[in-house]
Structure 1
Amino acid sequence: MVEAVLIDLFSLPANLQNNIQGLLHNTLETIEKCSSIHALCVYVMCCRRQGSERKDEQEFLFPALRGFQSLNRRLEVICAQTTAAALYTIKQRLDEKDLSIIKVILPTIRRDLMKVYIDHLFTAVYQFEFEDLQVVSDCESLQISEPQHEGQTLPSQDVALIQSEIQMYLESLPSLKGELTILRSSLIPDDIFLHGFTTRTGGISYIPTLSSCNLFSSCKRRDPQVVVKENLRRLANDAGFNPEAFHRVKVDHANAVCIMGKTEPDNYDGIVTNQKGVTLAAPGADCIPVLFADPVRKACGAAHSGWKGTLLGVSMATVNAMVSEYGCNMKDILVVLGPSVGPCCYKLPHESAKEFHRIDPKCVRLFDSANPYIDIRRATRILLERGGILPKNIQDDSITDQNQNITFCTACHPDKFYSHFRDGTNFGTQIGFISIKD
């Protein structure tokens, strides 16, 4: 069932722009007669010309709203200088109301164009229906008609222009929740490596559980890839790495490792390189983003270690890849565990807890309960030490000087970190990243 209606009046023919009030009135009259879309939120998208003195577009269009009192309470006029700006504002309104099914009424010539904007600014969470808005210039009226056949795909240069418009608009948006903040470890030498762990501040993501520097997009979340890309651009600019040479693990909650420069697996939770200027990254939103650095052989790695990956030994698999591929000595490899859910908050069913209890009983608290508390960080440290990593070369929450601690509990710090455990399915994601300086 349709939840909202979007009327696209953004690019009407020039001879109709001055009669927008009459056009809108006719459109709303048609909508109100359509019982299937009678009681919904309605958004009217139109163009604000550069230098326009209009301060209240709703007031300007008020004559068109007369006679639609019930509709008026659910109608908002969005005027902007670009389609990207108008559509992104409407997306914010939809997200505020948690609406996902939208009927778009628009001139036929705008359909293919609008689909490109929607493909970039929305995710698969949303469903769009399209209806043609026929503009009859001689009588200056609008009629909703049956959808026409699918138009031709836009030329690549037109798609590129739309992408550029969207990018420029997103770059113009202010950062939310304060300045971008990066946590860095004193264990990794900064004269050789560039590294850090992100927090949730300084990006443009506005949905509460994703706000603001969310760095992962999926078909199940409302943050589109273009927003995540802009957050990454801001991070790269602040941290000093090239976002075009950025490689993130393809999470599978297992222990496969990708060797940069070799055939890339379909999925992997570890990645290593000895190439300068290539930034590796692992996500975390309770799972541990783990960074690896060998200052002697000048190699580095990143791994995503959730409870499954921890049990499967993804951290040691990443270490072993550095040893076998780049001749690293186990004694030289430094390992830093980033922000992740702590043993104070994280629970697993008893059957899964047994596996951690086998690694070390101290990894489990309240073992006899149905859902014991689990310390995946301690388990990671133990497995690394057993594999040959020196205890002093591992940094986690057991660090003596708490002023140097960067392995915070993500669930305990909602102002600083995202947490799947705390926020549910529409959660944001932070990352750990590392590269070898040129």
Structure 2
Amino acid sequence: MRHAVLLDLVHGCCPTCAGSSPLREAASDPCVFVLCGERHGERRHALPSWCGSAQVLDCGSTAESLFRFKQRADRMDLSSITVLTTPRGREALARYQRQLFTAVYTFEYRVKEPTCPGCTSPAHTDSPGEGVVEEEVSAFVQQLPALRGDVMVLTSTLIPDIFGHGFSTRSGGVSYIPTLSSLNLFSSSRRRDPIAVVMENRRRLAVHAGFHPEPLRLVKVDHGKVVWVVGGVEPQSYDGMVTNQTGQVLAAPGADCMTLLFADPVSKVIGVAHAGWKGTLMGVSMATVEAMVTEFGCQVSDIVVAVGPSVGSCCFTLERTNALEFISIDPDCVPDPGSDRPHVNICLANRLLLQRGGIRPEHIHDNAVTDRPCVTPCTSCQPDLFFSHVRDGLNFGTQVGFLWIKDRAELAEPGPRPAGETSPAGP
């Protein structure tokens, strides 16, 4: 398997200190990188001629150099990385690794104490702390240009203005991996988008939508029906959340699964839910409604529900045994029950379950509604706008539906943007 070798000159690891043997081995590999940065750029001239094919990383900061290194490694489909460095370098680079890489990448640190005068000089004794690294990385990703256009959010005309809300799309972020580009909002150990990039994407979404990114709470998906009442004991995993607190932005992720926003303008209570096919069958949508009623005294007839982008029955199929379970909700949920792999309409299933639970039909905004701007398009059918697990495979991006209760200061500000309006997110 091809791998990358990274020689760290920034933290005092010249060819002499690294030792000729490992560096000669590295030089025989076409994927050799030299981390020197602007400050130590002159040290690359100390490399022997047999290391001349190495790619030099000499950007303005270590954060930028390592980000560019990751971009090149991704283009070459490299995920195994050997780092030649010092003990101080390992400590520092591990901090950058946590910010700029995920568990998809494996790092092997070959560490040697610096011995030559150049590497033991005061210029190489600094080792930035965790907070310093986070600030440096954050400052760098904030100045990256937006990809795929500006941030765009879909909003429902059914949600009253006393709430802030929206459904994100895939434009306006800084994620560059094709299936994650560009406003991916979830970092996973199984994908290549690191936490620093995802947090910057969330920041840009927050700037656009008008909330502070710090209180953004995402449900901890388990494809079940557990609902967390914010402020209570937090379960290990849950697919729904409810609250009556201002200053809390609730969000549900989705990449084909449904994101549902629940709002009671009378009691000023909100909820969000993530509903895949399993959660739909288990009843997560009504479990969220029931939590609003039980915990905060909401009347079901006051609750409105907006259903975000999700995979349509045009593109979503299941194993026949699983698909036929939806017939118990309504036969129309499975348009081709005789197929070996039937199509399933999870959006219709959730609407019917909500209506049977007491939600008024006109209080549900989904793809059955024709007199309002659409907020429930098929994610798989629109690759320019949405991420899709069905379409893109395992390395898929994530959009979110988000909702919060506006405080008095927010209510005094001008009204929200019209549904689907686009505006620049800003750096």
SS in 2 for 1:6: strand
Q: Distance in 1 between matches of 2:318 and 2:300?
A: 32
Q: TM-score, normalised by structure 2?
A: 0.88
Q: 1:109 deviation in Å?
A: 2.5
**2:89 aligned counterpart, secondary structure:** helix
Q: Is the 8 A contact 1:189 1:295 kept in 2?
A: yes
1:123 aligns with: 102
Q: Which amino acid aligns with 2:187?
A: S
1:8 to 1:67, Cα distance in 2 relative to 1, 3 A? closer
CA shift, 1:222, in A, is: 1.0
92-101 or 308-317, larger mean C-alpha shift: 92-101
Q: Name the CA shift for 1:62/1:109 in 2 (closer, same or farther; >3 Å).
A: closer
**DSSP-derived class of the 1:214 partner:** coil
Give the deviation of 1:12 after TM superposition: 3.9
Alignment partner for residue 85 of structure 2, among 84, 106, 113?
Answer: 106
Query: 1: CA distance between counterparts of 2:17 and 2:360?
Result: 75
Please give the secondary structure, in 2, of the residue aligned with 1:247.
Answer: strand
Relative distance call for 1:61 and 1:11 in structure 2 (3 A) is: closer
Q: Which amino acid aligns with 2:394?
A: T
SS in 1 for 2:36: strand
From 152, 156, 169, give the equivalent of 1:181: 152
Does the CA contact (< 8 Å) of 1:2 and 1:37 recur in 2?
A: no
Cα deviations by residue, 1:52-73 (Å, 9 ceiling, x for unpaired): xxxxx89x968957455xx72x
Q: 2:38 aligns with which of 20, 29, 48?
A: 48
Aligned twin of 1:146 = none
Say if 1:8 and 1:46, in contact at 8 Å, map to a contact too. yes
Match of 2:185 in 1: 215
Distance 1:33 1:91 in 2: 23
Unmatched 5+ residue regions in structure 2? Answer: 121-125, 408-427
In structure 2, distance between residues paired with 1:320 and 1:346: 28
Distance 2:64 2:103 in 1: 20
**Contact 1:31–1:38 (Cα < 8 Å) also in 2:** no
1:81 aligns with 2:60: yes
Task: Tell me which of 406, 410, 434 is aligned to 2:379.
Answer: 410
Q: Secondary structure at the match of 1:300?
A: strand
Instruction: Choose 169-178 or 125-134, whichever is displaced more.
Output: 125-134
Q: Is the 8 A contact 1:275 1:436 kept in 2?
A: yes
Matches within 5 A, 1:19-418: 30-31=21-22, 33-34=24-25, 38-49=28-39, 64=47, 66-67=49-50, 72=53, 75-133=54-112, 135-137=114-116, 158-190=129-161, 192-401=162-371, 404-418=373-387
Q: Relative contact order (alpha carbons < 8 A, sep ≥ 6): 1 or 2 greater? A: 2
CA distance in 2, matches of 1:169, 1:32: 30
Q: Distance in 2 between matches of 1:436 and 1:330?
A: 18
Deviation at 1:81, TM superposition (A): 2.0
How many angstroms apart in 1 are the aligned matches of 2:271 and 2:44?
Answer: 58
Higher mean displacement: 419-428 or 164-173: 164-173
* Matching residue of 2:425: none
Q: Is the 8 A contact 2:312 2:377 kept in 1?
A: yes
Measure, in 1, the Cα distance between the counterparts of 2:390 and 2:16.
Answer: 48
1:428 is the counterpart of 2:397: yes
Classify 1:65/1:407 alpha carbon distance in 2 versus 1 (closer, same or farther; 3 Å). Answer: farther
- Asked if the contact 2:12/2:85 (under 8 Å) is kept, the reply is no
Aligned-pair distance for 1:228?
Answer: 1.1
Amino acid at match of 1:4: A
C-alpha distance in 1, partners of 2:373/2:367?
A: 9
Q: Deviations over 1:367-422 (max 9, x none)?
A: 11110010000000000011110000001111113x61110100011111000111
Report the alpha carbon displacement of residue 29 of structure 1 after superposing the two structures with TM.
6.0
User: 1:426 is matched by which residue type in structure 2?
Assistant: N
Is 1:8 equivalent to 2:16 in the alignment?
A: no
Query: CA separation of 1:97/1:206 partners in 2, compared to 1, >3 Å: closer, same or farther?
Result: same
In the TM superposition, residue 122 of structure 1 has moved relative to its aligned partner by: 1.1
Distance in 2, matches of 1:414 and 1:313, equals: 29
Summarize deviations over 1:136-165 as a string: whole Å, max 9, x none.
435x799xxxxxxxxxxx99x821111111
Which is further off, 125-134 or 271-280? 125-134
Q: What residue in structure 2 maps to residue 151 of structure 1?
A: none
AA in 2 matched with 1:351: T
Q: CA RMSD in A?
A: 2.5
Code of the residue aligned with 1:292 in structure 2: it is F
SS where residue 309 of structure 1 aligns?
helix
Letter in 1 for 2:377: F
TM-score (norm 1): 0.86
Q: State the 1:26 CA deviation.
A: 9.6
Higher mean Cα deviation, 208-217 or 163-172?
A: 163-172
Separation in 2, partners of 1:355, 1:431: 27
Question: Cα offset for 1:428?
Answer: 0.4
Instruction: Give me the whole-angstrom Cα distance separating, in 2, the residues matched to 1:179 and 1:65.
Output: 46
Q: Distance in 1 between matches of 2:47 and 2:205?
A: 45
Query: Kindly tell me: are residues 136 and 354 of structure 1, through their superposed partners in 2, closer, same or farther at Cα, counting changes over 3 Å?
Result: same
1:175: how far off? 1.2
Letter in 2 for 1:45: L
